[in-house]
Structure 1
């Protein structure tokens, strides 16, 4: 018998006084929180997207990314702390999205073809009113008070298949299912009379009259596929129909050219091994996508059979090049014996095309490139590191593919191959437009075609490899909104489908995910890098949340966890690129920004752990100070620069990558997972916060134990690895086959070979497979002991030493079974009657064992609880035995949702190092007086109620029953008071402790789920009253149980942060003159503006007046609060309206004051007003004497300077008229000079052509 059992026996038989009565030992833990007004439901935030991603768009001017979902929600992402969500009205699936950068409009089209237009520069007054009403009435998920204003709504007359919007003019083109194009005025918010008919009817009619075998029937309606504006002439549209493309002039309202790809007999086409009857027949290639070249002289057209044709707009008879992803000139007929016999088979259609251009190299970039080349000329070339990978991907490095263009292709891959890829062709710069490009000379045209064809031969091809089938993508331009958002991009967002190698779950969020990469790709390896994404986008697709847990950690531990976190703009797509908006703290419940530092000190740091579908475990900082503290700005106040939550990427771990690591291939315990990776799914994660260890349990029964890289264990493993290298291959460290006598048991598989000891994150230690199936409950202590149960089987393992401490319920003799007596035999007999339901570790005492020790409480379904006590032997190995048991009277069919051991004041009994050391000291010298003062209680909460047991295994102290089944329960501490909070689907129950004599019920308002397959939500509650819920559809939401108390909500967001946009490519000098003339308030220069001419053509002669809209948001007006009416002196800033900032978060805001105005001493006035002398009494000066004098001076000046101001206005009008007259003369001379220049240039070109022709005959 061990020494600890002897000590326990001596303590039991020794005579000691009994504990005082229960009423003398227990006090009231709840205090003032018996008041029901303290509790209220509060929705804090939704961290994941509702439904699946259905559309996305990017606005480069203000730097916003918009994402639409199938639930009808629109999500807007800007700076790291800027993130808002608003719903379409009605809430239908978002089908199309686009930005209009020059007027800050967001256009959304849902599946019912309702067009909603939002103005990002104006805040929606309806949303702010609804937000306040919902907060007051505690209704369902509140609307965002900072949502943009919906300024227009329209329902299309037919299904919208595509749309086109440009920043040059103010009209939106809608491609409908009947093949027509409808125009919508975005300036007047109504439908314009201009309409483009279905231009492909005539083409199909020609085919039918020509008796073409593949001609469609007369019942067929040609669909509109895409609409794109000419990059340098907004008057020209390229319309893509099913059969081909049409170049259309808006001003003339007629088709300029028609482009249709037909493969001649004998042309192999994309499918060279097709039947000979098909190859030797004329074939039509239906069009699926189009893309303009940046120069506007060419365009690319994708086809349904996987072919890609590139056309010159001046030649509609034959394309410049027809190719596939890996072959060129597939439209040229060849002999039957020359046909390729190794064809890739049928191909997917070309779904989408973009043709990107880049700005010319400036002097600064040229000098930087020359300097880098000069400094690196004498050194050997080095590979790009991860630190400069992002910077090397910019157009400055490698001159953005030698300042050429990049054609990005989605689709076109063979059907038999994976479609999880995206092709990017690096093309040379296009040829410059010469004098002979417009000539009718055959030789000149042939030279121009040859130059254009040479510019279409790729110099390099990059393939973006994604994790799923590519379904859509979006380029991220730096600033230029023209060229349809394809000019000078720095990144690319790829919308991918589900990954077949992952487990399949019934949730919409798993259907689509977003991946971000750098763009343009580099020619060297690696060709591209991964970019960051906002947290909600990371939690879609592969990142779907399967579960979460949250913990409140002390400040010292919090610093240890986050000390290695990266410093920078976490939450942005790319830290060095501009993202719009800013956010300020938003305090509710009567609190102001002056109270923010106090709230931040009161709230303890908390960390959130989530596990995902792709086998990753991520940690996030969800501390309350993230919503309270920021950096002070002199004009905008306190600004939040970090998102909520803050990701901790250095703590992210991937169990799938660890198991599939090449060095782990062949391990017997991991072979089933490596052969069937789609079965690898995380079931639960537990973290030992004090020991900084983690356990990841899989649904297959495997358990991965991980430790921090900077911990003591990592240093020991590093020393072992060094000794392994020095001793040679005969060392037995890390063996997992059990052949060595000193090696670990077969249940353990060491993973120290894949550890990165230099990393500060989690490092894999070992893989446990100690149960025949998946574990139904787990428990992890800070001592390294891990307990798992399946049915009636229990295993306790020491993960650090890779040893089995307890094995019970396996049908054979348990450890220490020879030492049990009659009482222990009865305990074993009672244990065999029910399955294990919960496990928890604690350092505590029990009723029959008053010595402090590390114990494991094993609870079963029938309410029977067994207490296992552990001791550490002289060999530093853990040993355990049954020491006590108790039976709880639990309701039938009640599921355990929470169980923990608490102390005298309600604090949770932990298993940290200090508690274990205290227990070891008491075991050597038992203190009876200490055991009488320090006693513990067992709290067990089920779905139907809760019970509190005295001295863990003693009598029942109190119990409570809940009317609704709950999902989780936890002891919550607020302002020193403790309550038991239980969360149900529609209610929140708050019960007083420890008597359970008062229970409050708070009604919940959960948004309805749109999932087809609903599941029970998972709820985890933290110590301060916040709880995280993984609802049906794997949506992660954050709630609060104390919404009526002062707290911080989602930040106040300011969206309107415009930047100067470059002019349109085709604007030229006319665009500058038109913009100046428009600023002066005249239409004299409108004749030179193509956009104005296009607007006039599209809007018609009966264009209505512009609607009256509220003014755009301006932060300066909101940052100055109105003075109180009943105050004689400067008021204090105790209350600040929403959206205003009064000062930094650390000190109260300064007193209210009038904005400073210029002095009136230098103004002209017919009546001089003597200055008001200051009063002699200093109290009068404090009461605002200067304000009265200042007001009188301002009134006198205003009343007596009307005539002089009118005279000044007349002079300004005369100056304006003179300036306009001069401008008109200048524009007239400019137009005359342009005509003369064109005439002279044309004559010179004709003379040169005639001279060359004559020379050819001589």
Structure 2
């Protein structure tokens, strides 16, 4: 901590000095409170200290006060409160709330609690240049008295106590100010500037961040150079530079709490010089409790302020030419400039933020094959930069993974994975979670983030939900709180359900790459990848469906809305999408919809009838059980040996219906009646309904290859032995909260059943994990354990202890990898995301935190900005430095603030290649060093001592090895005693696993 201190009672000393002089003061108990401190942008010796009473300019070297800027509104001046304020006829001093300094250092903007901004000239502390509000007219000064407006507002000459217009004119305080400059002028005093204002809005104004484009501060030469005070002509010119040329508001859904400008390459000027992006922290409009904050980013300055970001050559393209230049070149340049101005959009482009700023509410992991993965991550050529969001311009250093266990060579054999996230702003984002991204070294560092965001796959649901013509935002009934489950990967529920539309779950077809989003109000939205304009807008004849093909999306996004299921049937408790164009939706009311997405059209509905919903004599409503699990499969069942498309619908208490879908001679798909019946485990858990091939153990899914076999009538592809009906074709694994069972051919005999046991805890999710062509059932519990069972006989093989402390919300895939989150209990947002695997014993090192070198590729810091004169170059005025003082260099300020006991800076051992620094070498011997004889004697003595030390260490190691051998022999003896029992147990396990060879 620096020993240098600035007295905190400077304002109190100023008020005491004013009172001693006999002048009246408007002192308040909090006027001495410091609200901000800003260093002069071009003179490090000057420090602006903002108190609630005013601003003091302090000299660090001299330790004295140079200037005091105090805004006192005269009676009748409206200020930011307006003419209907109750104290309009009294002198007032609005408290200071914010401070910013012009890049030239000659003007400062002071924000006040009444929503006004006072602009002061550095050399004039007597009165401000002008006092403005966000909506003031060009030359309006709310710090001065306007008799005509005052008489119109107060015709009787008395200030009203509670005038109705007083509330309408009341403004929020100015919370924060930033004054940005740009390299857009050949004049050393600078060109156009941008003033960014947080606050100052009226009560009925929409929330947002306000920016003003101000003209250059280029006053003319003073008529009287010897005059010490600010000349009126100079004052008028400075005031003219404070009239905005243009304004723009960064609109947000909620109130803006803070903002941060991201400079391009210059850290000076308090980080506001030449910014290229702005970060906004605002309230979420989807949270009724106002506890959720979201971060948004946009390009800065707004494109409408085009001149602010143009260089002098771009502003005057013909200035460097001569009369003999080619006129065609001048015309070409003029046309190019016109096209640039026409291509500018009025709205700033959004800036892509890292994953930490998304405000996640949940995520899921999806395993893909190579061809599907290549199709998903492919970037369309020709669309880069057309409407695409810009990335946050923050990148530096390098990172790589240290292969300490030699596992890096095996990473390329890992399956491809993607991660799907959703947030409270109704956005779905895809990220590449493939292990191949971690194959790095110190010489070939990581080139992308991990996980790597796939921005072209973003799905924005907000425009669909908030479109009143689609009727997707109407609330649905919440009859039952059963959680959805299915064979597809689904996002876990967010922690809070209060306020606004929420995403409940998301399903991705792993082959067709169709994405289904289930909302908590019962709406179901379907998106297709790279659909383009192939699907013309077709309105569905079914009242449950609405077409979305006419809804436009941003040009660079690849997922296109297809259709939606309207809310109204109740809460969705199960959903399943197949790779062959069928979608099934189950509800808490027991309703079931089966949709052929080729239309789309509803081919099956079992809506509740009035008879089913009637009330009994005892007051209970007769209703069907919720559908809690839906699973698609293709093949025969025990009661129907014909291979067909099957949908298994399991209810909460266990009964299940197996619906068969067949194609008519006209080519239309229809659901056969009646459905077959079977029995599932009660209260099916997520992932707890899977169909396996009885011969290979692979998952039996409704994919395109199986559909082609059914349509072509190739029965041999499904039953090559020709013994269908005598041998089991498939095994249905059904897992609930208390037990798991395996059923042959979906509705055949029960093969095995197992209870989880009371000590296992609550099962959160189950997964059929594949490894080396073998399968096992893994059940994840809330005790952070993974129970491993054989298939299909469900014998407990092992219990794995997972490293995560809690698995309240979990998503997994068939390779054994899983995602879990730590949630904030107040906001329901994700604090941390944990990525793990049940095979973690051999994958620890590649997934460890990467090594980072933050100094790699670092740039050079520009020199401290030099002072600029207020008057044009060549005019010798009083400002040589600021306020007639010389400029203090940075090294002198460092010595002043650090004090006499400043430690010497450590010598850097940084290696530009990122490798560990080499060991330090002995310094070269000085002229007064020891003689050669003394060095030889010391070397011999050291060698003899080292020899005895090595012999002693060798004897100690020999004793340790003998002790270790003795312990191993004892362990071998104990192991041989139980060899017979272990062999018997192993034989039983091998016989139980003879189907799959796990």
TM-score (norm 2): 0.73
Q: Is the 8 A contact 1:493 1:517 kept in 2?
A: no
Aligned partner of 1:654 in structure 2 is 460
Confirm or deny that 1:533 pairs with 2:358. Answer: no
Deviations 1:737-793 (A, max 9, x none): xxxxxxx12222222322569877222222223762121111112232222222332
Q: Secondary structure at the match of 1:1060?
A: coil
Closer/same/farther in 2, CA of residues 552 and 895 from structure 1, 3 Å limit: closer
Give CA-to-partner distance per residue, 1:50-70, whole Å, 9 cap, x none. Answer: xxxxxxxxxxxxxxxxxxxxx
Instruction: Please tell me whether residue 334 in structure 1 is matched to residue 143 in structure 2.
Output: no
Residue 1094 in structure 1 maps to residue 893 in structure 2: yes
Q: Which residue of 2 aligns with 1:414?
A: 202
Q: Map Cα deviations across residues 522-569 of structure 1 (whole Å, 9 max, x no partner).
A: 3365245334334324422xxx32x33322111111122222368989
Asked if the contact 1:709/1:759 (under 8 Å) is kept, the reply is no
Residues 670 and 297 (structure 1), Cα distance of their counterparts in 2 relative to 1, 3 Å cut = closer
Q: CA deviation at 1:259?
A: 0.9
Task: Mark the CA change 1:1053 to 1:979 in structure 2 (over 3 Å): closer, same or farther.
Answer: farther
- CA pair 1096-1055 structure 1, distance change in 2 beyond 3 A: closer
Structure-2 change in CA distance of 1:1004 and 1:697 (3 Å) = same
Q: Which residue of 2 aligns with 1:929?
A: 722
| 2:707 paired residue number | 916
Deviation at 1:239, TM superposition (A): 0.3
Query: Which runs of structure 2 are paired with 1:304-453 in the superposition (5 Å)?
Result: 304-327=113-136, 328-337=140-149, 345-359=169-183, 361=185, 403-418=191-206, 420-431=207-218, 439-440=226-227, 445-453=231-239
Does the 8 A contact of 1:241 with 1:287 survive in 2?
yes
Alignment of 1:659-808 (within 5 A): 659-661=465-467, 665-666=468-469, 679-710=500-531, 715=534, 717-718=535-536, 734-735=538-539, 744-754=541-551, 761-769=558-566, 772-790=569-587, 791-808=589-606
**Matching residue within 72, 75, 95 for 1:262:** 72
For 1:679-702, what per-residue CA distance to the aligned partner results, in whole angstroms no more than 9, with x for missing partners?
432222222232232222222222
What SS does the corresponding residue of 1:773 show, helix, strand or coil? coil
Q: Which residue of 2 aligns with 1:196?
A: 7
1:997 aligns with 2:813: no
Distance 1:930 1:432 in 2: 98
What is the SS of the residue equivalent to 2:248?
strand
Contact 2:728 2:744 in 1 (8 A): no
Alignment of 1:854-1253 (within 5 A): 854-880=645-671, 881-888=673-680, 890=681, 895=685, 897-903=687-693, 904-922=695-713, 929=722, 931=724, 935-962=729-756, 963-994=760-791, 995-1006=793-804, 1017-1033=808-824, 1034-1035=829-830, 1036-1046=833-843, 1048-1049=846-847, 1050-1057=849-856, 1058-1066=858-866, 1090-1101=889-900, 1103-1106=901-904, 1111-1116=908-913, 1118=915
The reply on whether 1:464 has 2:270 as its aligned counterpart is no
TM-score (norm 1): 0.59
Report if aligned partners of 1:896, 1:943 keep a CA contact under 8 Å in 2.
no
1:580 aligns with 2:393: no
Shift of 1:280: 1.6
The structural deviation recorded for 1:867 is 1.4
Aligned match for 2:36, one of 226, 230, 233:
226
Cα RMSD of the aligned pairs, angstroms, is: 3.7
For residue 659 of structure 1, report the CA deviation from its aligned partner: 4.2
For residue 1063 of structure 1, report the CA deviation from its aligned partner: 0.8
The answer (yes or no) to whether the contact 1:794–1:808 under 8 Å persists in 2 is: yes
Q: 1:409 to 1:705 in 2, by over 3 A?
A: same
- Residue 930 to residue 754, structure 1, CA distance change in 2 (3 Å): farther
Structure 2 CA distance for aligned equivalents of residues 463 and 452 of structure 1: 25
Structure 1 pair 833–1029 and aligned structure 2 pair: CA distance change class (3 A): same
Change (3 A) 1:769 1:466: closer
Question: Do the aligned partners of residues 284 and 537 (structure 1) sit closer, same or farther apart at CA in structure 2, a change above 3 Å counting?
Answer: same
What residue in structure 2 maps to residue 42 of structure 1?
none
Q: Deviations over 1:52-103 (max 9, x none)?
A: xxxxxxxxxxxxxxxxxxxxxxxxxxxxxxxxxxxxxxxxxxxxxxxxxxxx
Contact 1:1026 1:1040 in 2 (8 A): yes
| In structure 1, distance between residues paired with 2:260 and 2:61 | 31
Aligned partners of 2:234 and 2:448: how far apart in 1?
Answer: 54
* 8 Å contact kept, 1:503–1:678: yes
Please give the alpha-carbon distance, in whole angstroms, between the structure 1 residues aligned to 2:182 and 2:813: 51
Give the gaps of 5 or more residues in structure 2: 154-164, 307-343, 477-497, 613-621, 869-885, 920-998
Gapped runs of 5+ residues in structure 1?
A: 1-183, 186-191, 363-398, 722-733, 737-743, 815-830, 1009-1015, 1069-1086, 1123-1258
Query: Alpha-carbon deviation of 1:408?
Result: 1.1
Q: 1:844 aligns with which of 619, 631, 635?
A: 635
Q: What is the deviation of 1:575? A: 5.4
State the shift of 1:992 in Å: 3.8
1:990 deviates by 4.0
Give the superposition deviation at 1:198.
1.3
CA distance in 2 between partners of 1:982 and 1:795 (Å): 30
Relative to 1, partners in 2 of residues 1:199 and 1:930: Cα closer, same or farther, differing over 3 Å? farther
Alignment check: 8 A CA contact 1:608 1:620 kept: yes
* Residues 573, 199 of structure 1: alpha-carbon distance in 2 compared, 3 angstrom cutoff: farther
Q: Summarize the Cα distance change of 1:1104–1:929 in structure 2 as closer, same or farther, 3 Å threshold.
A: same
Cα distance 1:511–1:976, how it changes in 2: closer, same or farther (>3 A)?
same
Q: CA deviation at 1:637?
A: 0.7
Distance 1:213 1:356, change over 3 A: closer
Deviations 1:403-439 (A, max 9, x none): 3211111111112222x22122212222369577973
Q: What displacement does 1:251 show?
A: 0.9
The 2-side partners of 1:441 and 1:1119 are apart by 60
Distance 1:944 1:207, change over 3 A: farther
Contact residue 104 and residue 189 of structure 2 kept, 8 A = no
2:305 alignment counterpart: 523
Contact 1:991 1:998 in 2 (8 A): yes
Aligned-residue offset at 1:282: 0.5
Shift of 1:1062: 0.9
Deviation at 1:1095, TM superposition (A): 3.2
Q: Distance in 1 between matches of 2:355 and 2:173?
A: 31
Deviation at 1:402, TM superposition (A): 8.8
Q: 1:606 to 1:896 in 2, by over 3 A?
A: closer
**Cα separation, partners in 2 of 1:861 and 1:670, compared to 1, 3 Å:** closer
Residue 227 of structure 1: CA displacement? Answer: 0.8
Tell me, in whole angstroms, the C-alpha distance in 2 between the residues paired with 1:1067 and 1:454. 22
> Of Structure 1 and Structure 2, which has the larger fraction of its residues in helix?
1
Tell me if the contact between 1:231 and 1:1065 (Cα under 8 Å) persists in the aligned partners.
yes
Q: Conserved in 1, the CA contact under 8 Å of 2:431 and 2:453?
A: yes
* SS of residue matched to 2:351: coil
Q: What SS does structure 2 have at the residue aligned with 1:801?
A: coil
Deviations 1:92-124 (A, max 9, x none): xxxxxxxxxxxxxxxxxxxxxxxxxxxxxxxxx
SS at match of 2:78: coil
Question: Which residue number corresponds to residue 252 of structure 1?
Answer: 62
Count of residue pairs brought into register by the alignment: 800
Q: Deviations over 1:847-879 (max 9, x none)?
A: 232332211111122222221111111222222
SS in 1 for 2:9: coil
**Residues 310-359 of structure 1: per-residue CA shift (max 9 Å, x gap):** 11121111011111112131111121555676885111111111111122
Instruction: Report the alpha carbon displacement of residue 894 of structure 1 after superposing the two structures with TM.
Output: 7.2
Structure 1 range deviating more: 309-318 or 511-520: 511-520
Cα 1:265–1:668 shift into 2, 3 Å: closer
CA distance in 2, matches of 1:655, 1:1062: 44
Give the conservation status (yes or no) of the 8 Å contact 1:695–1:704: yes
Structure 1 equivalent of residue 936 of structure 2:
none
